[in-house]
Chain A
Amino acid sequence: MPGWGQLLCRAGGRLLAGVPGGPVQGAGAAAAVAATGNRGPWCSIVRHINSTTWWDEHLSEENTQFLKQVTAEEYRAQTASKLCPLKDEPWPLHSWEPGSRRVGLVAIKLGMIPLWTKNGERHAVTLLQVKDCHVLKYTPKEEYNGKTATLIVGGKHSSPFYKPESALEVFREAGVPPKQKTTIFKVSDNAIIKPGTPLYAAHFRPGQFVDVTAKTIGKGFQGVMKRWGFKGQPASHGQTKTHRRPGAISNTNAGKVFRGTKMPGKMGNVYRTAFGLKVWRINTKNNIIYVNGSVPGHKNCLVKVRDTNLPTYRDCNKNPPFPTFFADGEEELPEDLYDQEVFQFTDPSVTYV
């Protein structure tokens, strides 16, 4: 819809504004005729005075190309400059204590794959790719809520031209290209990280458990059977025009409909979390996390990954890379990190003794 509006606006705008070197002579003549003759305001309906402008509406083609090039180069330089956070006066690093919370990541859901364990059991895993993940801002606990400090983390790079200036300020302060998704992670005081530090998939290790939050696939306006799983009514045996309706919504004694009664409405496109997902494997070369089971969201959507809060898995997340994994540190990781039970395809076939 915005695309159509923009096209019409472009056509209308070019005709009305009379951009030099823009409209064809015929169109200019038509505009002139419309202005002078009594054809009525057929151009002006397309564009209202209160509609917003887009970034290259009043720019020439050369200038738009130049801006695109310049921003791309600038952002490439910025990402390159942030590759060595440990040499860039990092904030003091502390060691992990039980009860401390560390940052999470923003990842892209790539898809699902089967994975086999050494016993021959098959599990379905989701691939999450960590692409251009940087820490953007630190809010001390006094400013946030008085109890916990927070770190804002951003995901995939995106174009700066369609973002509000307030958002662009945050990115400029951190010295990082603009991101598609920003999330807030509540963090304990010993796990704060300097804004601009890149985060990698090796922040998580195989064998630990993770919560993944994302917006579910939007299904639009849906009826009560799909949205809430109601049984509906029979297809035949005298049902008059009632096959997928909710039936009764309250009783006589109440005399009213209670708030929160299940009814048709917009389904999906809501943030939901999948708790306690095991990390089976980490690919450090492409920054991919293999997470057990399914994750909300469609393919290539951005998800928020963090260490579990579930009490059952509190003991499994001991001694993680704290506050995060630094790529320019001394630790040299192999290309693939596997959990103990995962069958690696370089091994010979599974045999039972």
Chain B
Amino acid sequence: MAAACGRLLEQAGVRALARASAARPAARCRCFSSSGLLRANNGEPTKFQPPPKPVVVDKHKEVAERRFLSPEFIPPRGRTNPLKFYIERTDMIQRRKVLNIPEFYVGSILSVTTADPYASDKTSRFVGICIQRGGKGLGATFVLRNIIEGQGVEFCYELYNPRIREIKVLKLEKRLDDNLMYLRDALPEYSTFDVNMKPVPHSANDEIPVNQLKVKMKPRPWTKRWERPKFNIQGIHFELPKEMMEEAQKWSMPWIQFDMLREYNTSKLEKEIWKEVNEELKK
């Protein structure tokens, strides 16, 4: 009994010593650390808390905020009642609050996961380069292209389809053209993208890089006569003889740039719609 009491006392003593030793380093730490947490713990051993990282607020970058309005918000010319576009826009904004549709351009590499009732895990993922963005309003689409096991595959996704679970931009960049349909006739290496590629980081306020790549084509015939001026393609490295290029210029219509009826100035519309969309999204 005495021995047990002795042991208890010893243990108590050890505990007291431990407490004291804990208190001593705590006491020592009190002078060095600035956090008040140690005081709140009543002398118990605390983990080392590193000082908070300094937050660098770059005011210059905030000023030059890029205004990107997705092209499907801009209504086409026509005699439709603007109320119809307004209603479509409210639906589009609602969907954007649920699913984040990032900013992307033709030429960016995206990965899209959709809900698929016939897949084993009910989702299907596709990675590809965006070759075309079409449609206005809720029916807006984008086409992704990739070459999988030697076979070229293109997927046309609707931006506002509720089956889309996630749209991720793996590489945000632009190309020299708005429409990259000519990649179908280009060498396969220009349309192959790694399905498991890591997303390339891109800060929010940088300018979007324009990839000046000029693509090499398969031998003719092509699906379309891409050398003709109607397509106005800058992104192909044409290795055709000079006579062919000159003959293609026969189909040029140089008067079109002066045609005033084809002009559609969307700058004011864009500003109003951008303001409206941003206000709704912030709510």
Q: Do residues B98 and A349 form an inter-chain contact, with CB atoms below 8 A?
A: yes
A347 to B99 alpha-carbon distance, docked (Å): 10
Q: Do residues A349 and B162 form an inter-chain contact, with CB atoms below 8 A?
A: yes
| Interface of chain B: mostly helix, strand, loop or mixed | mixed
Residue B83 contacts which of A286, A347, A348 (CB distance < 8 angstroms)?
Answer: A286
Q: Which residues of A contact B94 (CB under 8 A)?
A: 345-346
A4 CB within 8 Å of chain B: no
Residue B138 contacts which of A114, A129, A350 (CB distance < 8 angstroms)?
Answer: A114
A350 and B162 in contact, given A114-B139, A299-B79, A345-B98 (Cβ under 8 angstroms):
yes
A208 to B238 alpha-carbon distance, docked (Å): 59
B249 CB within 8 Å of chain A: no
Q: Which residues of A contact B116 (CB under 8 A)?
A: 352
A113 to B97 alpha-carbon distance, docked (Å): 20
**Which of A334-351 touch B at CB < 8 Å?**
343, 345-351
| Most chain B C-beta atoms within 10 Å of own C-beta, residue among A111, A288, A343 | A111
Q: Which residues of A contact B165 (CB under 8 A)?
A: 349, 351
Q: Which residues of A contact B78 (CB under 8 A)?
A: 299
A22 → chain B, closest Cβ, in Å? 35
A350 to B99 alpha-carbon distance, docked (Å): 11
A218 CB within 8 Å of chain B: no
| Most chain A C-beta atoms within 10 Å of own C-beta, residue among B79, B84, B138, B164 | B84
Q: Which residues of A contact B265 (CB under 8 A)?
A: none
A188 CB within 8 Å of chain B: no
Q: Do residues A343 and B162 form an inter-chain contact, with CB atoms below 8 A?
A: yes
Q: Do residues A110 and B80 form an inter-chain contact, with CB atoms below 8 A?
A: yes
Q: Do residues B83 and A129 form an inter-chain contact, with CB atoms below 8 A?
A: yes
**What 1/0 flags go to B152-169 for Cβ under 8 Å of A?**
000000101111110000
Q: Do residues B84 and A127 form an inter-chain contact, with CB atoms below 8 A?
A: yes
Q: Do residues A116 and B115 form an inter-chain contact, with CB atoms below 8 A?
A: no
Q: Do residues B87 and A349 form an inter-chain contact, with CB atoms below 8 A?
A: no
A345 to B138 alpha-carbon distance, docked (Å): 11
Q: Do residues B98 and A353 form an inter-chain contact, with CB atoms below 8 A?
A: no
A353 to B87 alpha-carbon distance, docked (Å): 32
| Interface of chain A: mostly helix, strand, loop or mixed | loop
Q: Do residues B81 and A120 form an inter-chain contact, with CB atoms below 8 A?
A: no
A349 and B115 in contact, given A113-B88, A120-B162, A120-B163 (Cβ under 8 angstroms):
yes
Q: Do residues B164 and A349 form an inter-chain contact, with CB atoms below 8 A?
A: yes
Q: Do residues A116 and B88 form an inter-chain contact, with CB atoms below 8 A?
A: no
Q: Which residues of A contact B115 (CB under 8 A)?
A: 120, 349-352
Q: Which residues of A contact B163 (CB under 8 A)?
A: 120, 349-350
Q: Which residues of B contact A283 (CB under 8 A)?
A: 87
A310 to B244 alpha-carbon distance, docked (Å): 63
B168 → chain A, closest Cβ, in Å? 14
B107 CB within 8 Å of chain A: no
Q: Do residues A286 and B162 form an inter-chain contact, with CB atoms below 8 A?
A: no
- The residue in chain B whose Cβ has the minimal distance to the Cβ of A108 is B81
A122 CB within 8 Å of chain B: yes
Q: Do residues B161 and A116 form an inter-chain contact, with CB atoms below 8 A?
A: yes
**What 1/0 flags go to A85-114 for Cβ under 8 Å of B?**
000000000000000000000001011011
Q: Do residues A111 and B162 form an inter-chain contact, with CB atoms below 8 A?
A: no
A51 to B83 alpha-carbon distance, docked (Å): 40
A129 to B81 alpha-carbon distance, docked (Å): 10
**Which of B140-192 touch A at CB < 8 Å?**
158, 160-165
A236 to B99 alpha-carbon distance, docked (Å): 56
| Most chain A C-beta atoms within 10 Å of own C-beta, residue among B94, B116, B139, B162 | B162
Residue A349 contacts which of B80, B99, B139 (CB distance < 8 angstroms)?
Answer: B99
A351 to B163 alpha-carbon distance, docked (Å): 7
A12 to B265 alpha-carbon distance, docked (Å): 40
A116 to B138 alpha-carbon distance, docked (Å): 10
Q: Do residues A110 and B81 form an inter-chain contact, with CB atoms below 8 A?
A: yes
Can you name 7 A-B residue pairings with CB atoms under 8 Å?
Answer: A110-B81, A113-B84, A122-B161, A300-B79, A345-B162, A346-B98, A351-B122
Please list the residues of chain A having a beta carbon within 8 angstroms of any beta carbon in chain B. Answer: 108, 110-111, 113-114, 116, 120, 122, 127, 129, 283, 286, 288, 299-300, 343, 345-353
Please list the residues of chain B having a beta carbon within 8 angstroms of any beta carbon in chain A. Answer: 78-81, 83-84, 87-88, 91, 94-95, 97-99, 115-117, 122, 137-139, 158, 160-165
Can you add 16 more A-B contacts, CB < 8 Å, to A286-B83, A349-B165? A111-B84, A113-B87, A113-B91, A114-B138, A114-B158, A116-B161, A120-B115, A120-B162, A288-B87, A345-B91, A345-B94, A347-B162, A350-B115, A350-B162, A351-B165, A352-B117
What are the 6 closest A-B residue pairs judged by CB atoms, nearest first? A345-B94, A352-B117, A110-B84, A350-B162, A111-B84, A120-B163
